[in-house]
Amino acid sequence: MANFSFDIISEVDLQEMDNAVNQANKELAQRYDFKDSKASIAYDRKEKKITLVADDSYKLRALIDILATRMAKRHISLKSLKFNDPEKAFGGYLRQIVEICMGIDKEKAKELTGIIKGLKVKVQTQIEGEKIKVSSPKKDELQVVIAHLKGLDFSIPLIFCNYR
Q: Which residues share a beta bridge with 152?
A: none
Residues 6+ apart with CB under 8 A from 48: 14, 99, 100, 102
Count of residues for the chain?
Answer: 164
119 within 8 A of 64, measured Cβ to Cβ: no
Cα–Cα distance measured from residue 52 to residue 68, given in angstroms and rounded to the nearest whole number: 12
Q: CATH number for the 4-11+103-161 domain, one of 3.40.50.2020, 3.30.70.2660, 3.30.70.860, 3.40.50.300?
A: 3.30.70.860
Sequence ranges of the chain with CATH classification 3.30.70.860: 4-11+103-161
Per-residue model confidence as pLDDT tens for the chain (164 residues): 558 899 999 999 999 999 999 999 999 999 998 888 889 999 999 999 999 999 999 999 999 999 999 999 999 999 999 999 999 988 889 999 999 998 998 999 999 999 999 998 899 999 998 899 999 998 899 999 999 999 988 888 988 998 88
What is the side-by-side order of every strand in the sheet holding 4-9? Answer: 124-128, 131-136, 4-9, 159-161
CATH code, 14-100: 3.30.70.990
pTM, two decimals, is: 0.83
Cα–Cα distance measured from residue 110 to residue 133, given in angstroms and rounded to the nearest whole number: 12
Sequence ranges of the chain with CATH classification 3.30.70.990: 14-100
